[in-house]
A and B are shown apart, each in its own frame.
Chain A
Amino acid sequence: MGKTPKFVQGNEACVEAALYAGLNFFAGYPITPSTEIAEHLSVRLPQLGGKFIQMEDEIASLCAIIGASLTGCKVMTATSGPGFSLMQEALGYAIMAEIPCVIVNVQRGGPSTGIPTHVAQGDVNQARWGTHGDHAIIVLTASNHQDVFAMTVEAFNLAETYRTPVILLFDEVVGHMREKLVLPEPGDLPLVERLHTSVKEGVDYHPYLPREDGRLPMSDFGGVHRYNVTGLVHDMWGFPSTDPKVVHGLLRHLVDKIENRAGILAHYREHQLEDAEVVMISYGSSARSALHVVEDRRRRGERLGLLELQTLWPFPHELVRRKCAQAKAVVVVEMNMGQIMQAVKLSVPQPERVFLANRIDGNFITPADIMNILRIIQGKGV
């Protein structure tokens, strides 16, 4: 195939994938451990004639990419915990106004300034519920650089398909670790381009009137259709409304377009789940250690399997229920105090069989850590 393997950081894999997907506008603000994404894009985007701007803060960064998206650009910003907190209001705006955009959060330890140079996965629930009001959101993650690439491309595709912000929730280990990345050739991965309206100039265009399939064809700012975009509850013209029917209809549309598709949005990998008595569920860098444990224990005849989630939200409840149906125990491996464990408990008929294997001290969770916890769960002691 003549494909070139590269030895890169996860943050660089994200950059390569974003460019592959057609990214042509990035705005950001430096923050550890995501900064390399901005640095690499400051080199690459101008070379390609794209736009890179370093803004005055993370709020402005997300606002700027939303503005650029409205002109037809494929857009992204990248940040970490504190910056992600600052972005929450504009994130809600992008949800409400249905603006395609991709937001990368390379997680570090929190809360507050926390432990900027160390790993954590503590923003899982913030990604889901950080912005106010009822809403739905798509959050993807990955444990290795090839998947970082694939999920980043997928994030752009889903953002364009559903006119929604998509969050890429990586972590410090995946962001900074170096490993092999084989760059896909153009055409290897499908790309979704923006759906533009076919309504002709002079004909009334309804920017917020969904088609039968729920999609909303867009018209770029600067084009022939002039319309209003607002974070207020709005009617099909994008004009503010307090009509209860309009309010109800819009909120249902915003939530249903994502939650009703949880099944097809569920990306995952599975390892030796067929006969697993103990199912581990993990994601991001934690899944690397969990996979190591599966391979190690299988060699000793223990029936362990791993479900690695790549879509965290909308949570794939049905998938988890199905994959855990035969399990005697479900062990969620994550670097927080059980954020995905809570969602797993809601998925399975016997939540008392769900256990947490975690680490929250800024150190990466190792296979030995997981093994010790498994032994305790199995009543074997350490």
Chain B
Amino acid sequence: MAVKDYLRERFLPHLWCPGCGHGEVLGGLVRAIEQLGLSKNEIVMVSGIGCSSRISGYVDFHTLHTIHGRALAFATGVKIARPELKLIVPMGDGDALAIGGNHFIHAARRNLDMTALVMNNRIYGMTGGQFSPLSGEDVSATTAPYKTIDRGFDVVELAKAAGATFVARSTTFHVQQMTDIIAKAIRHKGFSVVEVLSQCPTYFGRKNKIGDAADMITWFKDHTTPIGSKAKQEDPGLIERGIFVEKQEPEYCEEYEKVVARAKGRRS
């Protein structure tokens, strides 16, 4: 199937700003799905609220555009009800880790077989440029006119600590790596987290005088490095990308089948 066959052309063009990284994430995602040869009927995409979450409208899967921060909770219901379906849950950084932080850690703890995609542009774009829990310190935003003092989360460390069994990071500069990682995450049996550093030139870039989209993507190129690289040893400030965790642990839906077996055994 051609990549465009995964898109709902009726609803294009999308609403993202010129230069926004989310379109690249959408491109990487549908290419990953195309590589895996998945049927459109077996995929359910669940998203929350924000710029990133509009991604679900543009793909020709079963799509559930929910409420702010709760995408993983909705997805949990879909997955447990129909374990054979493939669940993909794209979220923004504020969506996933501010308002949705609790659901994020609990979905990871359960090790439900689904893929959480954190489209991290370090800003609330839909509401016009407020700082998020991933903005980090010393960032300008419309709610941080004197710069942020809030420390940021590290999505990878948080996901690892919460029990995710696949944890990876990539960027919108490294689209081939991103596509490859998303494909592996979808194929992974268990809760997979993929953080994609994405650019918001309209708000984050402009507020922080980083330049245009090309400058921001170049920043990803210059400030990230493969996991465990020599460059990282020389410059600890570099952000690592690649697959941090990939391990097999009991998956929730399969474990639930054991509960059913025990319940039926006790009954008879």
B184 CB to nearest A CB, Å: 24
Residues of B within 8 A of A228 (CB): 56-57, 63-65
Instruction: Using known A-B contacts A221-B82, A227-B62, determine if residue A67 contacts B75 with beta carbons closer than 8 Å.
Output: yes
Among listed A56-64, A263-271, A289-297, interface-contacting one? A56-64
Does B150 interact with chain A (Cβ within 8 Å)?
no
Contact present for B44 and A59 (CB under 8 Å): no
Residues of B within 8 A of A333 (CB): none
Contact present for A68 and B103 (CB under 8 Å): no
Instruction: Using known A-B contacts A60-B103, A226-B40, A228-B63, determine if residue A71 contacts B81 with beta carbons closer than 8 Å.
Output: yes
Chain B interface residue number, banded: 35 or more
Contact present for A231 and B77 (CB under 8 Å): no
Does A55 interact with chain B (Cβ within 8 Å)?
yes
Does B16 interact with chain A (Cβ within 8 Å)?
no
A372 CB to nearest B CB, Å: 47
Does A262 interact with chain B (Cβ within 8 Å)?
no
Instruction: Using known A-B contacts A25-B81, A57-B102, A71-B81, determine if residue A231 contacts B66 with beta carbons closer than 8 Å.
Output: yes
B67 touches which one: A69, A70, A93, A227 (CB < 8 A)?
Answer: A93
Instruction: Using known A-B contacts A71-B81, A224-B41, A231-B65, determine if residue A63 contacts B263 with beta carbons closer than 8 Å.
Output: no
A25 touches which one: B41, B80, B263 (CB < 8 A)?
Answer: B80
Contact present for A231 and B85 (CB under 8 Å): no
Additional 9 contacts, C-beta under 8 A, given A63-B73, A226-B40: A46-B259, A46-B262, A47-B263, A59-B73, A60-B103, A63-B77, A67-B46, A69-B77, A221-B85
Q: Count of A residues near B, CB < 8 Å?
A: 43
Report the separation of the CA atoms of residues A90 and B64 in the bound assembly, to the nearest whole angstrom: 13
A68 touches which one: B41, B57, B77, B102 (CB < 8 A)?
Answer: B77
Q: Which residue of chain B has its CB nearest to the CB of A46?
A: B263
Instruction: Using known A-B contacts A46-B260, A56-B102, determine if residue A25 contacts B67 with beta carbons closer than 8 Å.
Output: no
Contact residues of B between 4 and 57, Cβ < 8 Å to A: 10-11, 40-42, 44, 46, 56-57
Contact residues of A between 60 and 90, Cβ < 8 Å to B: 60-61, 63-73, 75, 89-90
Q: Which residue of chain A has its CB nearest to the CB of B86?
A: A222
Does B267 interact with chain A (Cβ within 8 Å)?
yes
Does A133 interact with chain B (Cβ within 8 Å)?
no
A222 touches which one: B62, B103, B263 (CB < 8 A)?
Answer: B62
A164 CB to nearest B CB, Å: 17
Does B153 interact with chain A (Cβ within 8 Å)?
no
Residues of B within 8 A of A56 (CB): 73, 102-103, 106
Instruction: Using known A-B contacts A227-B63, A228-B63, determine if residue A222 contacts B80 with beta carbons closer than 8 Å.
Output: no
B70 touches which one: A59, A73, A222 (CB < 8 A)?
Answer: A59
A223 touches which one: B11, B41, B256 (CB < 8 A)?
Answer: B41
Contact present for A67 and B260 (CB under 8 Å): no
A71 touches which one: B10, B67, B78, B267 (CB < 8 A)?
Answer: B78
Does A239 interact with chain B (Cβ within 8 Å)?
yes
Does A186 interact with chain B (Cβ within 8 Å)?
no
Contact present for B57 and A53 (CB under 8 Å): no
A205 CB to nearest B CB, Å: 12
Instruction: Using known A-B contacts A68-B80, A89-B67, A228-B56, determine if residue A239 contacts B73 with beta carbons closer than 8 Å.
Output: no
Does B264 interact with chain A (Cβ within 8 Å)?
yes
Contact present for B70 and A90 (CB under 8 Å): yes
Contact present for B76 and A60 (CB under 8 Å): yes
Residues of A that sit less than 8 Å from B by CB: 25, 27, 43, 46-47, 49, 51, 53, 55-57, 59-61, 63-73, 75, 89-90, 93, 221-224, 226-232, 237, 239-240
Contact present for A64 and B67 (CB under 8 Å): no
Residues of A within 8 A of B70 (CB): 59-60, 63, 90
Residues of A within 8 A of B11 (CB): 239
Instruction: Using known A-B contacts A59-B73, A67-B46, determine if residue A73 contacts B81 with beta carbons closer than 8 Å.
Output: yes
Q: Which residue of chain B has its CB nearest to the CB of A204?
A: B10
Residues of B that sit less than 8 Å from A by CB: 10-11, 40-42, 44, 46, 56-57, 60-67, 70, 73-82, 84-85, 102-103, 106, 256, 259-260, 262-264, 266-267
Residues of B within 8 A of A223 (CB): 41
A38 CB to nearest B CB, Å: 15
Contact present for B73 and A60 (CB under 8 Å): yes
Report the separation of the CA atoms of residues A27 and B80 in the bound assembly, to the nearest whole angstrom: 10
Residues of A within 8 A of B75 (CB): 67
Report the separation of the CA atoms of residues A239 and B102 in the bound assembly, to the nearest whole angstrom: 28
Report the separation of the CA atoms of residues A55 and B80 in the bound assembly, to the nearest whole angstrom: 12
Q: Which residue of chain B has its CB nearest to the CB of A62?
A: B73
Q: Which residue of chain B has its CB nearest to the CB of A67?
A: B77
Contact present for A55 and B267 (CB under 8 Å): no
Report the separation of the CA atoms of residues A68 and B83 in the bound assembly, to the nearest whole angstrom: 11
Report the separation of the CA atoms of residues A240 and B54 in the bound assembly, to the nearest whole angstrom: 10
Residues of B within 8 A of A61 (CB): 73
Report the separation of the CA atoms of residues A222 and B67 in the bound assembly, to the nearest whole angstrom: 21
From B65, B259, B264, residue with most partner A Cβ within 10 Å? B65
Contact present for A63 and B85 (CB under 8 Å): no
Contact present for A222 and B41 (CB under 8 Å): yes
Residues of B within 8 A of A57 (CB): 102
Pairs across A and B, CB under 8 Å, 29 listed: A46-B263, A47-B264, A49-B260, A49-B264, A51-B81, A56-B73, A59-B73, A60-B106, A67-B64, A67-B75, A67-B78, A70-B64, A70-B78, A90-B67, A221-B64, A222-B41, A222-B84, A222-B85, A226-B62, A226-B63, A227-B62, A227-B63, A228-B63, A230-B57, A230-B65, A231-B66, A237-B10, A239-B57, A240-B65
Residues of B within 8 A of A226 (CB): 40-41, 60-63
Contact present for B77 and A66 (CB under 8 Å): yes
Residues of B within 8 A of A72 (CB): 81
A253 CB to nearest B CB, Å: 19
Q: Which residue of chain A has its CB nearest to the CB of B74?
A: A67
